[in-house]
């Protein structure tokens, strides 16, 4: 995959991408089996796992082995090289609490304590968030032709890139303010006090970061871009046949408008197949709003499972 020529919003300081996230899990082989089945390129790296998408050189995630339950270790955001000094001065002005890189992470970039104490990393990195809306394919057979695909010839489908990342937080309005103030993210939409969606100022999907209410921090889901509703459905079927039968979907969200299917992972959080999410260009001032609950979650799809909003990570 060729490097992206980045779009930029003029005279605006802000992160441009989620560079990667890192999880700690009790068993790396359990993680490998799940993420390979999901369609990711899982690679060994010095006793850890790294997640790539097929044919894309960017590393989207790291999986480390640790004792106890699965937990989100940190989230790393990318910035432009010529913004590095300005970003450090900006964070100084915001009075963030600088921290050492967590065990198992490198010390590249700037490390500080995020909302609810979540370690946040800001580093110079290539813009891996797209500059325009991802291609979405909708196919229909013409008259006198069949659109049927036999199960025996159904293709494997693979995510194209990380779309967004969703974290639990203890106070959604306060977390919105924190990430706007420190990272330059901007509010796309919200339904207070339960959920909010933030986008990147240099062009990104409707949300890079989603915030969900809980009594402690943790990962709710990681979301991966797919090329069609058919791909979302084939991904769901492949995971179901592999024994991963819990989750939510297929459906269509209201905020973000993407088609979705969430697959529950071995630790009670989720990986999402997502297609046709709204895109906010670098020169767009998105009309954010606070939406009532009935207009904030999904337009159609199965009922929400009771376990969907449970935070299964341990409290610190």
The whole-angstrom separation of Cα 9 and Cα 200 is 10
Considering the chain, what percentage of its residues have pLDDT values greater than 90?
Answer: 91
pLDDT, mean of residues 274-294: 96
pLDDT at 308: 96
For residue range 90-135, list pLDDT tens digits in order. Answer: 999 999 999 999 999 999 999 999 999 999 999 999 999 999 999 9
CB 98 within 8 A of CB 114: no
Tell me the pLDDT band of 284, cut-offs 50, 70 and 90. Answer: very high
Whether residue 4 is predicted with pLDDT greater than 70 in this model: the reply is no
Question: Predicted confidence band at 50 (pLDDT cuts at 50, 70, 90)?
Answer: very high
Residues 125 and 76: their CA atoms lie apart, in Å, by: 10
Tell me what the mean pLDDT of segment 273-285 comes to: 97
Superfamily of domain 17-128+157-309: 2,3-Dihydroxybiphenyl 1,2-Dioxygenase, domain 1 (3.10.180.10)
Question: Tokens 């640790």 label which residue?
Answer: 66
On the question of pLDDT at 89 being above 80, the answer is yes
pLDDT level of residue 2 (50, 70, 90 thresholds): very low
Measuring CA to CA, which residue among 188, 155, 174 is closest to residue 217? 174
d(CA 48, CA 312): 22
* Radius of gyration of the chain, Cα coordinates, nearest whole angstrom: 19
Q: Residues of the chain with pLDDT > 70: what percent? A: 99
Q: Judge contact between 196 and 213, C-beta under 8 A.
A: no
Entry pTM: 0.95
User: What are the structural domain ranges in the chain?
Assistant: 17-128+157-309
Beta-carbon contacts of residue 288 (< 8 Å; ≥ 6 apart):
186, 187, 188, 189, 190
SS3 of 174-230: HHHHHHHHHHCCEEEEEECCCEEEEECCCCEECCCEEEEECCCCEEEEEEEEECCHH
Question: 257-274 burial, b for 16+ CB within 10 Å, e for fewer?
Answer: ebbbbbbbbebebbbbbb
137-191 pLDDT tens trace: 988 888 999 888 888 888 999 999 999 999 999 999 999 999 999 999 999 999 9
Which pLDDT band holds residue 1 (cuts at 50, 70, 90)? very low
Let me know how long the chain is.
316
């Amino acid at each position: 995959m060729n490097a992206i020529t980045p779009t930029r919003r003029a005279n605006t300081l802000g992160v441009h991408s989620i560079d990667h996230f890192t999880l700690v899990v009790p068993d790396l082989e359990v993680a490998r089996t799940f993420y390979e089945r999901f369609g990711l390129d899982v690679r060994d790296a010095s006793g850890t796992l790294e997640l790539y998408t097929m044919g894309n050189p960017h590393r989207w995630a790291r999986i480390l082995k640790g004792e106890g339950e699965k937990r989100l270790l940190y989230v790393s955001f990318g910035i432009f090289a010529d913004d590095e000094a300005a970003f450090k001065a900006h964070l100084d002005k915001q009075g963030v609490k600088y921290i050492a890189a967590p065990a198992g992470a490198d010390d590249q970039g700037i490390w500080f304590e995020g909302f609810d104490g979540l370690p946040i990393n800001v580093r110079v990195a290539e813009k891996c968030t797209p500059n325009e809306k991802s291609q979405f394919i909708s196919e229909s057979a013409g008259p006198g032709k069949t659109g049927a695909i036999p199960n025996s010839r159904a293709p494997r489908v693979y995510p194209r890139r990380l779309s967004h990342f969703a974290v639990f937080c203890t106070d959604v309005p306060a977390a919105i303010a924190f990430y706007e103030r420190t990272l330059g993210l901007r509010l796309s939409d919200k339904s207070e006090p339960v959920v909010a969606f933030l986008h990147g100022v240099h062009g990104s999907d409707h949300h890079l970061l989603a915030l969900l209410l809980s009594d402690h921090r943790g990962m709710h889901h990681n979301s991966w871009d797919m090329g069609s509703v058919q791909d979302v459905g084939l991904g769901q079927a492949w995971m179901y046949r592999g024994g991963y039968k819990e989750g939510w979907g297929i459906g269509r969200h209201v905020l973000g408008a993407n088609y979705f299917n969430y697959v529950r992972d071995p630790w009670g959080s989720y990986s999402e197949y997502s297609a046709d999410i709204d895109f906010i260009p670098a020169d767009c001032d998105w009309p954010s709003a606070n939406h009532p609950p009935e207009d904030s979650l999904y337009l159609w799809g199965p009922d929400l499972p009771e376990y969907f909003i449970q935070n299964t990570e341990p409290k610190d």
